[in-house]
Structure 1
């Protein structure tokens, strides 16, 4: 493995793990806050138990997110020094603000975890809300930095020099809103379905059904609302990408030839050597409408883009198809869920529906990872779109392959530890539940 591939692989590995930890850390505090609020309003001890159980999960993912995020910060400087040399002064503001948000989150989490029976009950609840808001802010700020890589702003690039730097404009670049919206909805959807699925499994096993059913309902509401809103966010993102990064859009749809109107491809096997796609189902003129809001609009293909600037088409296309396909399945499941509620059917007695939620446990995160592949691989060969290529930013230091192997072992170990801690926490739920009296 050459050093360039090793550096990219290490960054992909680190981001792949961190994005899951970060998304859970962004979303779970809101579940916890809702449960806590319900306990304060109803005095039902089940909600108190649920809040305490979820708060332990929040603490686990806060710690793992902090570790993996810190490693990523070091990797940016160690693996991509040329990038950080020029980009650091421009997009450093969202990173510094993210550090502030993380600091606030840590303080609020400490108050929440150790504030039971010590703080005013509503102030205690408020600290949990602060954990969620600051965690969500951290995620948005990091995404703003990534959006800058896709839509550089806040500087003038003159003769290889970065002049007239405006960090505010850099942070609020043209891509930050669409990426942040899409990412936040994806985080709520993925985490919501995962949490709802775990509690659905416990219901099917007939373990502490009242506890798990209340947990399921809270998580399912967040998950289904996020899933139903995601197509709207996806449409906004597609139109934005069509304007700013036509090469990425062409790779997403494996559009090798400019067409007017352009069909939307569903599925298909990409042959990058022959520049063609086989076995794809075409929806006539749909891509023109999705990209430009006009069924007759022209969509630029890869034939109008220099070949040296083509992203890896097959990887981007397959990842995009996976993201959209899973997203569509989750939308369907959300609609089924609400139709069941509308018909006033008891979800707890609909074992088939609970089994669907169990099956959906990993789907949101698979779609989440696929979406990041589209974002990052689809930007290639640029690390700063249109300004700096990835190959020009990599460190000249040799032996990066060994660093990649080491980090792979670290992340694998960290993941096993997290799985063990979560498994132990789930096993402890019956004990926690039985220790607290329930209000009749």
Structure 2
């Protein structure tokens, strides 16, 4: 996500390395590079110029504190302006009404149906009874796709396959929701081109008929500035409440995320980071600015962990750590929890410094497969008692999991290091020992 933009901004800030203060000359060159980076990321030229002019005006002549380097100060200024450019603060979805109605609109192929399923899953986790409505009456298999997604997330789907009137289907669905105690109705509509007048009239008629509490415009972030232009056209007809950026995990330059709020004056409310039903995040402008500038996003990482990690499981692991009984069964359980947190490359990018260090490393969903295979090739006794795994057992585990003996040795080594580290951190947390003086390791 935003790897190219992040890399170019980092290069721009290097202009100020070794400088004692920010001057007209050195900051002008840096801001010129920042503007070029934004334009290369497909940010509208006018938007890029406006924001960089503001950065330049604020930065020139700023005194640099002894403890703060000029590059760090400019990074902070750029962070503030990027955050403001993307909306300043998180904007929540409105779920007023009984039932609350959310209308989903967008272009063909933008990911509306997938997002509808993700949103249903997201809202269901808030203990709300959700109904998905299939109002795409044109695309073949659209109803079937929504039903598959609904089944995946455990949400009922309302459809009328023989009916070709989207307005009637939407109205009937809301009546059904009221009769069946559904608290939120998500209406998935057909993709449409902004130049198709008949289709634009239809979506406007659906909105007029159902009076949604929230209208969301779904756009493919990989289309860059085209996404912004399309959003402007749709907004003139629909006056939507917020934007959803899909496919942000793809090879996107970031122009849509950086430009759309400024161009349309409507907030980004959600971003999609993959195909899985839990790959949906609320949009935080400040956190996205941090990630663009290579600062990571620890808050989002912690929130994802809190969503998937079971409190009782954490207590059980904690007790085993106290008794030095953490074993491969526990390790496998922790791996499964981590896999639930989402795309690995996206998770890594949230850790300050790590995402940049691993930007050229291919981290995919199969990263844990060899580890899982090795653990599953162990006997129940070996998993519960890692210390009993000697040389001959390691050879058998390697053969059984289809890996080299060196990989088994590495797993054993890293597992032991992990066990020691977790025990130490647990002791620090309980106040039984102090952290070592890190100077001794320098």
What range is the shorter-chain TM-score in? under 0.3
Question: What is the TM-score with the length of structure 1 in the denominator?
Answer: 0.22
> Which is richer in helix?
1
Return the structure number with greater relative CO, CA threshold 8 A, min gap 6.
Answer: 1
Question: What is the TM-score with the length of structure 2 in the denominator?
Answer: 0.22
Bigger Cα Rg? 2
